[in-house]
Amino acid sequence: MINLETPKRFRGLVEQAHGIAVNVFRPISRKYDLAEHEYPKELDLLAAIIDGVNDGGGAASASQLQKDDKSSSEEASGSATKNGGNLATVLSMMELCWGDVGLALTIPRQGLGNAAVAAVGTPEQKAKYGKRWISMAITEPNAGSDSAAIRTSARLEGDEWVLNGEKIFVTAGARSDAVVVWATLDASLGRSAIKSFLVPKGSPGLKVARLDHKLGIRASDTATLLLEDCRVPKENILGSAEIDTSKSFAGAMKTFDNTRPVVAAMACGVARAAVERAREILEQAQAVRGNNRSPWLGSHAEAELCRLEAEVDVARLLTLKSAWMADNRVPNSVEASMAKAKAGRVCTEVTLRCVELCGAAAYAETDLLEKWARDAKILDIFEGTQQIQLLVVARRLLGKSSGELR
């Protein structure tokens, strides 16, 4: 069963991630928030360190996010539980995003596309693209939360796939070395025809159309990509090219069972940072008296901080559970969506409430609380909005299909 304490083998990793947040991210956080689209060169050394530790098998990264379905023989054998790459990545991401979520999203070779290759890529694809920076292109102008509405097309011509379409809100879309593009083999078949394709930068027909200006996570570039008769080798499809209407696009969606807990972890990190900073500000103003006093005997601000801390703890525990299940090859789609929905909502509420509690001290650009309140909202939106997560949970619990419950 899950142990709620940080596993001993990951404590060093968590301490290192916190050290990066304190010594690397926080000092440059405001700089790259103001200098949107300027690449943070300070991250190159950090990426090289992560690569080196990964080669030694000791780091947590997007390439470590893997999950296989548990077989009946494994269930019968009662094999020991394990803490693996999913839990390690979640724990380290909480610390990194306590520092700065935009910078965490900008670490080279840690893109969502890397997680997709790790989840469903072939051994050959993992070997070829494992050390590249891979972004993920899903959203389209007319296909946001409903991935089944994707209209970017893919057709096979000889030994090449030809892709046509437009992708928006692609995180690290300009900086990455390759992109995992979601496209349909036959739009009339809906979800079942959705497949994902590895598209290296420089591929004929792939163009970065623009970079977007955003409310938050400004250190992370967000791009619009155009694919005009973009050609990639036949072997660049992730998974099978066969259209199986009984399985829908489960292979493509499998990525999210691994990555939604990571986004939930990002939200937990930002929310925790906001609560801790709010407590510091209010203690300095003598509006609260610290943790050695019962909040119910103190001010309203004290009681409110305790409530916010409890909400962050709930989101954190849901996140740890969903990652632990993935490590132990237990189906976690419901738990991953629960964690994402809860953490995203908590992060948005907590950061805004902390700004309210601290007033002018938190509203100006002189304090990072203002920035965290702006960063928070995206964590409730990307990787599937809160409303979509609740739909996923409801469908699973009620045994309903997407057509039956909308």
Assigned CATH class of 133-238: mainly beta
pLDDT digits 0-9 by tens, 339-388: 999 999 999 999 999 999 999 999 999 999 999 999 999 999 998 899 99
**Other CB atoms within 10 A of residue 117 CB:** 26
**Other CB atoms within 10 A of residue 390 CB:** 15
The reply to whether the predicted model has a pTM over 0.85 is: yes
Of the candidates 358, 347, 276, which has an alpha carbon nearest to the alpha carbon of residue 314?
A: 347
**Other CB atoms within 10 A of residue 297 CB:** 9
User: Two tokens at 14?
Assistant: 């968590």
Q: In whole angstroms, give the CA distance from residue 228 to residue 204.
A: 8
pLDDT of the residue at 61:
58
Better-scored residue on pLDDT, 290 or 288: 288
Q: In whole angstroms, give the CA distance from residue 400 to residue 398.
A: 5
Helix (H, G, I), strand (E, B) or coil at 144: coil
Mean pLDDT for all residues in the chain: 89
Q: Could you tell me the residue ranges of all domains in the chain?
A: 8-120, 133-238, 250-398
Assigned CATH class of 8-120: mainly alpha
Q: In whole angstroms, give the CA distance from residue 334 to residue 332.
A: 6
Is the per-residue pLDDT at 71 higher than 60? Answer: no
Sequence-separated (6 or more) residues with CB below 8 Å from residue 366: none
pLDDT of the residue at 239:
81
Catalytic, 335? Answer no
Q: Any idea which fold 250-398 has?
A: Butyryl-CoA Dehydrogenase, subunit A; domain 3 (1.20.140)
pLDDT digits 0-9 by tens, 306-318: 999 999 999 999 9
Is the per-residue pLDDT at 69 higher than 50? Answer: no
Q: Are 265 and 191 in contact (CB under 8 A)?
A: no
> Bridge partners of 167?
225
pLDDT of the residue at 381:
94
Is the per-residue pLDDT at 76 higher than 50? Answer: no
Of the candidates 47, 54, 46, 225, which has an alpha carbon nearest to the alpha carbon of residue 126?
A: 54
Catalytic residue of the set 276, 349, 383, 404: 383
